[in-house]
Structure 1
Amino acid sequence: MDQMNSQAAEGQGEGFARKKQGYLLVSALMLGLLFNVLFYGKTLGLSYPLYIIALYGVLFWNMRNHHRGHFKRNLLPGIPIIALAFSYLIYSNWIFSVLNFLVIPILFVAHTLLLTANNRHEWFKSQFLAEIIHGVVARPLANCLKPFAVIAEFAQSRLNLRKLGAVGKVLAGLLFAAVLLIVIVPLLASADDIFRRLVEGIPNLFRGISLGEFVPRLLIVAAVTCLIFSYLWSLFNAGTKSKEAVSNSGSLTAGRAFLDPLTVSTMLVLLDLLYAFFIAIQFSYLFGSLKYGLPQNFTYAQYARKGFFELVVITLINLIVVLGTMRYVKVSGSRLNKVVNVLNSALVVSTFVILLSAHVRMSLYEAVYGFTYLRVLTHAFMGYLFLLLLVTLGKIWRPTVPLLKFYIVISLAAYTLLNYVNVDSIIVKNNIDRYNKGNPIDILYLTRLSYDVVPMLADFAQNTPDQMLAGQLEKELAAKKQALAKENDWQSFNISRYRAKRTLAERGFDISQAD
């Protein structure tokens, strides 16, 4: 009997803890939305004190059952914080605006540590400064992924798909797909103006919504929500990790698969259809001859450049979706599991095409505007994502594939290889090739690269027919020769600098040209 009572009490305690986490997550989400309304694209003013007041309101509401004895004696430090916040409303001194932008968060962290009794040292002790630094840096980041765990636990406890029929599971899949489409469709529309025009042709679907602003606003809301939740959760759950964390980790390990294959199949079907439509546009316009024409006042290079980063973000989203469905879908050995595998494979293949589209876009942009560090490294990053997707595709059909091990090996190998491919030389070589074909060249940018490119630039300076360009390049190389002449210590020996120094000495660039 006592055991049953203790189990019931433990169940009530876990339910109460989940409810508190739910309230805290909703509060953090409200603060994230308010942050977007008050600060996105706005100059600081009345918005700052309003947000500080909202922060305190959320804090006090979640503290209504915590540490009441600390309220009265620790409320006074909030007065200067509120006063400083209102200075953004009253004054416009930019020096104090910058200083207060740094000071107010630090004071707020110190105050909340005192209010919630999370300080191990008195506020006037030097050790309290370390606690403030920990609160500013570590607490917002330590549990920033906790909101997703809270949502997953809620889905496991409340969204019991075993009790739903086939219709209910399909509706749940449609709901999950709708959440993803809210993010993915604006990204695709921002990436491709032709796709955007088709989407906007659907009556009233995106009327009044600026697709260019929707994604950054959504990301800001998500980031602020996670950071605020992480910080507040750390205040209200200090020292309670042991039993709750062990219990949660055990439950997630034992019963992590909670998504029904029919629900996931419904979601994946919608995503695959959307990507099939988008890919058809890519083959018609980007991979083809653009025979249908571009949007008005839109050049080929602009079209190629515009959607690159959005497509990379979509690639990452798709990778997360595939990994999530593989991890959380129930394995029952039914045909539906094979259907999920096929749909996941189709999503990966679609992502391959999207990644190829991003690669083609960046290549077209480089052909028009030249090669830079960022543009070359984005190609390398796309190759890295391609390998991750390839391994993920293997994991879909071979569950025994150690995915994390392959990810780590690929990441280390890719990073090491990137250090040895000599990115600087690739940039110079391709820009010189563009110049030889009649395109402009940015000599100043090329001479700011490492000493690895000095031999190539020296050859270019002596072979180019443009005397003005050759003179500018010789002057920059003479300056490099002057800088290298100061490095004579054997401890500083470097092969790249040695080759550059020898090349400049053999070519006879005069140091006086650098003056």
Structure 2
Amino acid sequence: MTTPTIGPPSATCSGTPAGSGTRLWRRDRTSIAPTVTLAAALGAGALAALVLRVDTPGFTYPLVGLVVAGAAVVAGRPRPSRGHLLAVAVTVAMLSVATVRGAGWLIALCVVAGWVVGSVALLGVRRWTGIGLAPFAVWCTPTRLVGWVRRRGGRRGTGVRLRAPRVLGVVAVSAVLVTVFGWLFAEADPEFGRMLGGVAPSVHTDDLTAGIVTGSAVVVVSLALAYLWRRPIRLDRLAPPPRRPVAAWEWAVPLLALVLLFAGFVAVQVRVMFGGHEHVMTTPGLTYAQYARQGFWQLCAVTVLTLVVIAIAVRRVNRGAARDRALARVLFGMLCLLAIVVVASALHRMSLYENAFGYTRLRLSVWAVELWFGVVFGVLLVAGIRMRGDHLPRVVLGSAAAGLLIFAAVNPDGLVADRNVERYERTGSIDVSYLRGLTVDAVPALDRLPEPVRSCALRGTRVQPDAWYEFNAARARAREILRERPVGPSASCADTVTLG
């Protein structure tokens, strides 16, 4: 059997890697799109066109995501496993962040993460190569989708024939009937008209084009996912082949040299890494910003270096020899432990920085990333003890998804505002211009500020009423707060307020 190699995207999408006889994607000239799949995809597209607004995150995000997932597996072949159901639950949880948070940057991050988790589960990949390529698999489906759907329309038999023109005609006639009779009933009874206006999605000329584009995209994505569910691309076959084990000294000597270098760095830098406020104040030319940034970039470099070294070295270890396994456990374990020490030092540096200058999104995000790095090193440590890394890619991906959900639950913008309000109560200093740029998630914390600082921080915050299908808990709470305590009249607001 010839080992596949990574080829250009065209080779991958065609099903055969360049220079290989192994097919990643079996040929398909006979499969037919199930009627129920087409109907479900069209339903998902219609729902998205009516209620999904990309610039108004809310309840519709998880709703449309759940419908799209259902359209992919509604045909019932193959049956979803517990792992698939767990992945769907995680993806829907990621999309549900749009229902409880108002920070667009956080919601966008969760949507991307949900897409990655869903793609990995859909294709059943287990290796790093597959996980990296899975989110882009839908780009390989358009040419196959055309034949898949066309064969459905041209099928003869006792089953239901589903042709695109007929489907569009039925949808158009249904829409016209509902619109005409709904308008007549609304004119006949004002109460029914108010009820219908509150329940039916509002369609405006300015967002009609966006709705059509969104709905069409959802239809195509739903069909692509359904096709990949039934005929997945075997992306794991693109992973590099196992390497031949070498003598222990060939990999142990470089690892030992690296471990000694790390240990020497940590030993010499103990005072620098954990010197805290005294070290910053007594070192000429050193600021809190430099102190924190140095720790973070050291952490990034150590993380990448450790992962690369372990990934290369572990492929050269003779796992059949007990002595080699024991030596690998010791060296890999020491590398991970030393990296965890650097994680702790970077977190300590960032803590000092935040205590001195307050919280921001970036600083809080650095905290989250550093903590996740620590978790990754812990996972590597456990994998090194067991000398098994089969589940490592999925465990790392799962830890990232769990960490992101926890990060969203913490409410980053709200926490940043809360800590800055506490700092203002303690020191009398606050950066109003920065807090004014936070999202509606920060409104409850900023509402605790005294006037006129409160009105200055909330200046420009406008929360429009939402339809029922656009419900967002953060916007609803901010709307209630601003209704009970409106922002004061316009006044000159300083960017930075300091009392005393």
- Report TM bin, short chain: 0.3 to 0.5
Higher percent of residues as helix: 1
TM-score with structure 2 setting the length: 0.47
